[in-house]
Chains A and B, each alone.
Chain A
Amino acid sequence: MELTSVLSELTGAAGVSGLERPAAETAARLLSPYAKQVSVTPRGSVIGRICEKPDTPHLLLDAHIDEIGMMISRIEPDGMLRFLPVGGLDLRLLCGQPVTVHGTREIPAVVATPKWDGDTPPALKEEELLLDAGFSDAAELTGIVSVGDRATVDALLLPLQHNRVSGHALDDRAGVAAILYALSLLEDEPPCSLSVLFSSQEEVGLLGAQTDGFSLQPTHAIAVDVSFAETPDAPKAKCGKLESGSMIGFAPILDHALSRRLQRLAEEENIPYQNEVMGGRTGTNADALSLLQGGVCCGLISIPLRYMHTSVELVSLSDLKAVGKLLAAAIRKAGDILC
């Protein structure tokens, strides 16, 4: 599987929380060669049934398909589009960003930069958030853009040095790609039941994992998400390192034994890994998945990512591969891993 082109396809499709369909359909298409059955749920999640084996543990691999973005909240009389953040949008880096408004057709626009007086200005405030789509009158937008439409920052997937790539929505399309990569590595039928969930609405409260994960009734789940990688301005203790492999999560809400077994597996298989320790909830779908149907043994594997929630999120393909390899190894050795 060619990871860069898969990532490029996945990040090229829009999937702002609550309107994930373009990204979900792309992910469903990429998942279908590995699954007996693939569907997009009414809530915008993708469910793939890879293998069903009675009387075996049922492992669910999850990555969220949605991305942070913008929602049009008002069309101003002068044709400017007022918007609200969807999910944790960083308002400090919106000025002058190119945007696509997903109306009845795709409309190019730019985030308006307020007049600058030469000083160090404060970050944009929510009430200043405006898109300029080049229209001069609200009437010109009738039938094209409506309140509630989503908008996304435009960003191509850019290759950088050392197999690192940058783009938008790598949180968590990188996780989706890692699961697809894991499935591509499986030569034999898994020794357990296996399902995949590319869940919607993670960025607005883990909703897709809670609702669409419910019907799957897994016994075990591994959430695959991204986590902070070191940058000069971030606290080192809270960050993983690029090219150091899967970040295996340890947290009170995670199944400790499963985390330990994943760690041992990575060592046995010579797959690079690092540990990520969290003191309570993880802020990922693992928090929701662990509560499904009376409780699920849940693990968390994260891909180190720089500049989270920006349009220049950065990951190393070697880390994506490490996560894919670890997941594939966990599936192959399900008998030992899913106790």
Chain B
Amino acid sequence: MLTLLQKLTAVTAPSGQEAPLRELIVSFLPNGYRASTDRAGNLLITPPEGCTDILLATPMDEIACLTGKAQEDGMISLTPTASFDPRILPGRAVCAGGLNGVIGTKAVHMQSKEERAQSVPIEKLYLDIGATDKAEAERLLPSGTAVTFRGETRLIGKSRVMGRVLDARLGIAVLLTLLREAPRRVSFFFAAGNLTDGQGATAYAALCPAKTVLAVEAREADEHCKLGGGAILPVMDKNTVYPPALFQKAADGVQYGAPKKAPLAAAFQRGGGGREVLTVGIPCRYPRTPLPVADPNDCASAAELLRRLTGLL
């Protein structure tokens, strides 16, 4: 599982620019399976028999920024592609258009007492690639270039994994684990633009022939849902309610989760006349930061739960 997570986190997939990750996922395709990318950037993998009643879905995209205008001194403004804690940006080395860059802030010695107590708003932060003027900065990094986080994915502690945008790869790791077993009754959906309010899933859900969608995604660990405690089954989510019969089938050996925003499940529940959905969570610390922490055993639990559920459906 560590090797798989290392491979998945080594490629970047900012919302709307998921192509490198799609290519990597397609390299796992079993013989006879078909992969197709739609206009929204989603990747659908179907067994040789074609579309199935059950769809396993997971998001692909990771937190990132886009470059904006450059200043006269060569500093480049940043726009986040998804909402995240602004405290993760300053003091951070990043990649942009194949170049190294840093996001700095003035020295602590120059900050007022009030400034020290506040996080730095994103609009006051700049990407510094070492360019000396506006023209050079804009030539090297045209507006709209993705700025992605750096980071190493590695084992920490006894059995946990800390990894670059790891939360955005846990669900994919689970689905690829199942795809390797070449199940014939399920299709696999990798959603683009999930961090932009489930854009990819919303587009596909209008046409999706599946009757049941099982969404798999990272969920923030807390005092009730712990790392190593197994898959999370949310009792309900914000704007998504799960069908009791389906919920009961899943409710064995899981950690019950508190309601969260669930754009992936919500899109499939509503789109194209609607269908039954369920979310399976994988506990994760520090989601939407550059270096989340998770326990690969929880991915294994989620995979096992999905095997059991798809067998029952």
Contact = CB atoms under 8 A, between A and B. Distances in A.
B117 A140 contact: no
Interface string A195-237: 0000000000000000000000000000000001011111100
Nearest to A108: B156
A278 interface: no
A214 B108 CA distance: 30
Nearest to A242: B132
Chain A interface, DSSP helix/strand/loop, else mixed: loop
A231 B104 contact: yes
B39 interface: no
A324 to B, nearest CB: 20
Interface in A85-144: 88-98, 107-110, 112-113, 115-116, 118, 120-124, 132-136, 140
Given A133-B156, A140-B157, A158 B102 contact: yes
Interface residues of A, number: 60
B107 A234 contact: yes
B286 A93 contact: no
B230 interface: no
A95 B290 CA distance: 9
B220 interface: yes
A88 B109 contact: yes
Given A124-B87, A232-B73, A136 B105 contact: no
B262 to A, nearest CB: 16
B90 interface: yes
Q: Which of A112, A134, A309 has the most CB of B within 10 A?
A: A134
B116 interface: yes
A164 interface: yes
Q: Which of A79, A161, A309 has the most CB of B within 10 A?
A: A161
A23 B291 CA distance: 27
B11 to A, nearest CB: 19
B117 A122 contact: yes
A277 interface: no
Given A79-B157, A161-B136, A312 B102 contact: yes
13 contacts: A92-B87, A92-B91, A109-B156, A116-B84, A116-B288, A120-B86, A166-B128, A228-B107, A231-B104, A307-B91, A310-B105, A312-B92, A314-B128
Interface of A: 79, 88-98, 107-110, 112-113, 115-116, 118, 120-124, 132-136, 140, 153, 155-156, 158-162, 164, 166, 228, 230-235, 238, 243, 283, 306-312, 314
